[in-house]
A and B are shown apart, each in its own frame.
Chain A
Amino acid sequence: MPTASAARTEQLVKCYGSGQSQVRALDGVDIEIPEGSFTAVMGPSGSGKSTLLHCMAGLDSADEGRVWIGGEEITSMADRRLTRLRRDRVGFVFQAFNLLPVLSAAANITLPLDIAGRAADRDWLATVVDAVGLADRLAHRPSELSGGQQQRVAIARALVSRPAVVFADEPTGNLDSRASTEVLDLLRYCVSEFGQTVVMVTHDPVAASYSRRVVFLADGRVVGDLDQPTPEGILDRMRALGRPDLRAEPTPAHVHRHDRDGELA
């Protein structure tokens, strides 16, 4: 049974600079994110993994190629529609948490709904708050929360509008190992319990091992992937990526599209 994709790119190209100094940050990326999957994007510095995330999430525009979110093509969208799509169909988790310091945790969580002028679905909100384990911290300001707690608020904020995809950009980059584990467990829980699609960019093999599939990027291209990853397996592939002579031939990611049912089986 074929699954619908939550997000998809086709021959995505993104360049920075111009003329001689032009850098192709993304050089024809084809990737498909099935619904309910937990995908990690890895690669050495400058491989284009953050750029890929930004383009897929509608934060940055592509130079060539196309991007779909939940069946809608976003590459041709004007700013207003794109903004709306980000508001309703995409969730974000950033490395620096990016909470509004003037708002309480609760207000930060419901911010996307408030901006949209929609009331929160009380049951869903309670479920989310319960999942992130912050029921007793809701009245606190971000400055009164630990890093891990702040990141969990950010995850709740990303979940609250039931987006098609949650994009997490180095979500554990600013956290110690205990808080990192909590956050990664939480992300995995969202996927397994709520069927939430999550795409996470990270350079940490341990973090990536929480996902069900790792996609490797180098020089703006997809250079391989790994299902059911372990930290060791990831580390091996990363080492190979660091040495071009060992790098595997680039293989289109969609060939390796994994079967969700099969995986759960």
Chain B
Amino acid sequence: MFTATLRGLLAHRIRLVLTALAIALGTGFMAGTFVFTSTLTHSLDSLFAQAATGTDVIVQHTAPQGASVGAGSGGSKPIPVAILARIHALPGVKAASGVVTGRAVLFGSNGKPLPNQFAVALSWPHGAPFQAIFTRRSGRPPTGPGQVMIDRHSAQEGHYVVGDRIEITVGGRAMRFTVTGITGYGSASSIGGGSMAIFDARTAQRLFGLAGRYSQIDVAASQAVSPQQLRARVAKVLPPGAEAVTAVNAEASQARQLNHQLRFLTYFFAAFAGVSLFVGAFVIWNTFSIMIGQRIRELALLRTLGARRDQVFRSVLGEAAVLGALAAAAGLLLGIGLARGLAALLAGFGVSLPISGLSVPPAGLAGSFAAGVAMTVIAAIPPAWRATRVAPVQALRSAVPDPSGFSVARLIGGMVMTAAGIGLLIAGLFGHAPAVVTAAGAVASFLGVTVLGPLFARPLAFAVGQPLIRLPGRTGALARDNAMRNPKRTSATAAALMIGLALIVAVSVLVSSVRSVISGQITADAKTSFYVQATSTDAGITPAAAAAIARVPGVRQVTEVRRTDATVAGSAHQNVDGVDPSAIAAFTSLAVRAGSISSLNSGALLVSKSAAAGHHWRIGDQVTIGFGSYGVSRLRIGGIFSNPGPLSSYLVSTATFTADTGIRTDNVDLVRAPASARAALQQALAPYPGAQLLDQAGYARSRGATLGTILNLITALLVLAVLIALLGIVNTLVLSVVERTRELGLLRAIGMRRGQLGQMIAAESVIIAIIGAVLGTALGVGLGAALAAAFTRSQQLTVVIPGGNIVIYLAAAVLAGLLAALAPARRAARMNMLAAITSE
């Protein structure tokens, strides 16, 4: 039996390759996700290890309970310089150096920021052990104000040599420095793909507002002392609020925390890999169904010769398992390449991560392989079961009537499944059910529609094909007839495309709706006329810019808004804004429902009505906010407002903000001025390349731009699923071409040109693609509307259907259909007409 299985596989190499590709892509995506995150983890580990080169003990501000590295934008709390002298005095200390870190963006000689993944600034350490990581140096380290050492990579990118003048922005303000030295970092020419600006300690303290303080102190032990012993000694001389940790521990915990935070990337990518596998399963299911249909005589013959039903079942599943294993193995190789692609994709969307080397996680690869094989075998179960239903007598019958696809059981089953899916979806979105319920609802509705598919595939094909019947030579009409003759096949082929497109459309609807809410909020209240926004959120804008704006003639009022990423009551990545309590009301009407804005002055927190509703908060409640590694604050709610306008859902006073986050730069300055002041504002901002002047519409657009980026990223990730669906169309068409060899041969014999034959197959492909696109769009609009309603109902329930995008998706589907027809059409045109007619 098994030999028959293998023969079956090898006899049809093209369809083997196409089907395998559908599995390989999904498996490869999944494997790529694991390779990517493993490589990222590895890269971060080695980056942290490098950063601690030569350091045995690190002295830092005591990490707050529950604080996490990297979550906030503020970095850790600084410690007083006086500690350094005490450490120096300890026995067993070989070297100790205060370190200041911050953000500084390097500009090229062309006046544009260097395209680096990120930009770090640090102070030149004292002591040979700490300097060892700075390799292949030329020139000399900075020793005073106006001097900087930069990394080799940036020097190459910006065409700088020692002695050149370079523009660097700190807090968005441009400053010029002399390049006194150029350095590598370990074996690399830069720090994990980021740029480095190295100042002397005093200059760095001045630039980052850390006079008299260090970000941390690095300590190296002499040979007689172990890091643990030294740590104990150092700890004894530290004032309260500072702690000593061994470098090894610090590295490990930093890496652990950062990796923990980046785990969401794994989930994010794995979700899309799952979608790809799901779509791939459709292709497998459909391909196997068609193959079983074509092999009915062969199967019946096996049964006639005495094969049992379970042997037939196992034979088909065995074929699927072998195919799945081959394809999944190929997918693993593909995944290793894809991992780099994912990093490049993220970088293309502005999410840069320090990726270096390649780390292949055996467990992740094994899991991906298993998922690929399992998906293939599961998808082959229904066709395999159908194969067991083949009666021996069917070996003797020549033709099998086309199944119409209609059955009451199908109708009821499909409706029940769709209804259950919609129910779960609504429960998941509007109830308090976990996200997995929403996902299950989406999957169930997709499956439900797929079950119903054959019922409306015929009328849909009829309607979609209507414009095509005008094609000369009857090619369009024949294509439509062909698409209608086997509704099960047509609908299964279209279903794969439907899923990918539904998700794209749903995300598109969601993003358009949320974007509309944001821009509605910003433009609803027209008190602010200009927004000066930081081009780099990390680097921010120095308060000096706000002062400069205030001096511009015509400007009535300016206020600074600081912003950070924080963990509010356990939910990560929430924006918290620092605002001036006395001024903010002049720029936006917050519409305070309870409490008061002035409560901000006493260190209270203002929350938006939607946030308060979500958490069931009332005035006076305490809210825990984690500001990254800087600290954790417990703030009392002093007011609830209903209209955030351009601000976030959580507001504190500037004083509270700076004290709790350490951030001294603004995210955006709000300006009240007549439109005529634009030119003067532009001029006043000339020294601040890191600040950009926007009007209301521009600011609304820029706030929505992030969402647009996310939409594009998700679309890009779903394109793979669409690609797999297209492979499914190619596969179906190739199988149909083989199946209809005689018909195609006849058409050629009675005078159809090769081109017309190709046109006919392309038309059939386009019909299938449009059916998938239409169903996908309908499902996607429904799903997207539900998502949008759930997301926006706390503010203003908004559902925006992006018509332009949908038209583009539909056009792309038509184009994709044409593309999918290329190979099958070529195959049909090349077919030996004579063999086609005479073949029995």
Contacts and interface: CB of A to CB of B under 8 A. Distances in A.
Interface in B710-767: 742-743, 745-754, 756
A115 B751 contact: yes
B837 A102 contact: no
Interface in A35-50: 50
A111 B834 contact: no
A60 B477 CA distance: 28
A83 B746 contact: no
A94 B749 CA distance: 11
A116 B746 contact: no
A202 B752 CA distance: 27
A92 interface: yes
A93 B755 CA distance: 24
A139 interface: no
A143 interface: yes
B754 A79 contact: yes
A111 B743 contact: no
Contacts of B742: 96, 98
B835 to A, nearest CB: 10
A102 B743 CA distance: 10
A112 B747 CA distance: 8
B477 to A, nearest CB: 8
Interface in A82-115: 83-84, 86-88, 92, 94, 96, 98, 100-103, 111-112, 114-115
A157 B751 CA distance: 12
Nearest to B840: A96
A83 B401 contact: no
A84 B481 CA distance: 24
A102 B478 contact: yes
A10 B837 CA distance: 25
Contact of B837 (A59, A84, A87): A59
B485 A101 contact: yes
A261 to B, nearest CB: 32
A102 B750 contact: no
Given A80-B753, A115-B751, A54 B834 contact: yes
Contact of A115 (B401, B743, B756, B840): B756
Contacts of B750: 86-87, 92, 111-112, 115, 157
A203 B752 CA distance: 30
Interface in A59-91: 59-60, 79-80, 83-84, 86-88
B263 interface: no
B473 A103 contact: no
Nearest to A113: B474
A117 interface: yes
Given A59-B749, A86-B750, A116-B473, A103 B481 contact: yes
A98 B752 CA distance: 15
B455 interface: no
B749 A100 contact: no
Given A59-B837, A115-B756, A86 B747 contact: no
Contacts of A157: 750
Contacts of B756: 115
A114 B833 contact: no
B748 A83 contact: yes
Nearest to A158: B750
B753 A100 contact: no
A59 B474 contact: no
Interface-centre pick from B472, B482, B751, B754 (highest chain A CB count, 10 A): B751
Contacts of A84: 751, 753
B751 A112 contact: yes
Contacts of A143: 399, 401
A102 B473 contact: no
Contacts of A94: 746, 837
Contacts of A59: 749, 833-834, 837
Interface in B785-840: 833-834, 837-838, 840
Contacts of A116: 473, 751
Contacts of A114: 473-474, 477
Main secondary structure of the interface of A (DSSP, over half): helix
Contact of A117 (B473, B477, B749): B473
B749 A92 contact: yes
A98 B473 contact: no
Contact of A102 (B481, B746, B753): B481
B472 A87 contact: no
A87 B482 CA distance: 22
Contacts of A92: 749-750
A186 B484 CA distance: 34
A83 B749 CA distance: 7
A200 B833 CA distance: 20
A115 B474 contact: yes
Contact of A83 (B474, B743, B751, B840): B751
A12 to B, nearest CB: 16
B399 to A, nearest CB: 8
Contacts of A50: 838
A48 B751 CA distance: 24
A92 to B, nearest CB: 6
Interface-centre pick from A59, A102, A103 (highest chain B CB count, 10 A): A102
Nearest to A84: B751
A157 to B, nearest CB: 7
A86 B472 CA distance: 18
Contacts of B478: 100, 102-103
B451 to A, nearest CB: 25
Contacts of B746: 94, 98, 100
B449 to A, nearest CB: 26
Interface string B17-39: 00000000000000000000000
Contacts of A79: 754
B820 to A, nearest CB: 21
Contacts of A115: 473-474, 747, 750-752, 756
A100 B472 contact: no
Nearest to B482: A102
Interface-centre pick from A60, A100, A103 (highest chain B CB count, 10 A): A100
Contact of B743 (A54, A100, A112, A117): A100
Contacts of A60: 834
A116 B474 CA distance: 9
A199 B472 CA distance: 31
B799 to A, nearest CB: 42
Contacts of B751: 83-84, 86-88, 112, 115-116
A50 B474 CA distance: 30
Interface-centre pick from A80, A96, A143 (highest chain B CB count, 10 A): A96
A98 B744 CA distance: 10
Contacts of A86: 749-751
Contacts of A54: 834
Nearest to B484: A102
Interface-centre pick from B472, B478, B749, B753 (highest chain A CB count, 10 A): B749
Nearest to B472: A117
Contacts of A98: 742-743, 745-746, 749, 837
Nearest to A57: B749
B595 to A, nearest CB: 73
Interface in B127-156: none
Given A54-B834, A60-B834, A94-B837, A83 B753 contact: yes
A143 B807 CA distance: 41
A54 B837 CA distance: 11
Return the 5 tightest CB-CB contacts between A and B, nearest first: A87-B751, A102-B481, A114-B474, A98-B746, A117-B472
Given A102-B478, A114-B474, 5 more contacts: A83-B748, A83-B752, A100-B478, A101-B485, A157-B750
14 contacts: A54-B834, A83-B751, A84-B753, A88-B751, A94-B837, A96-B742, A96-B840, A100-B481, A102-B481, A102-B482, A111-B474, A112-B750, A115-B747, A115-B751
Interface of B: 399, 401, 472-474, 477-478, 481-482, 484-485, 742-743, 745-754, 756, 833-834, 837-838, 840
Interface of A: 50, 54, 59-60, 79-80, 83-84, 86-88, 92, 94, 96, 98, 100-103, 111-112, 114-117, 143, 157
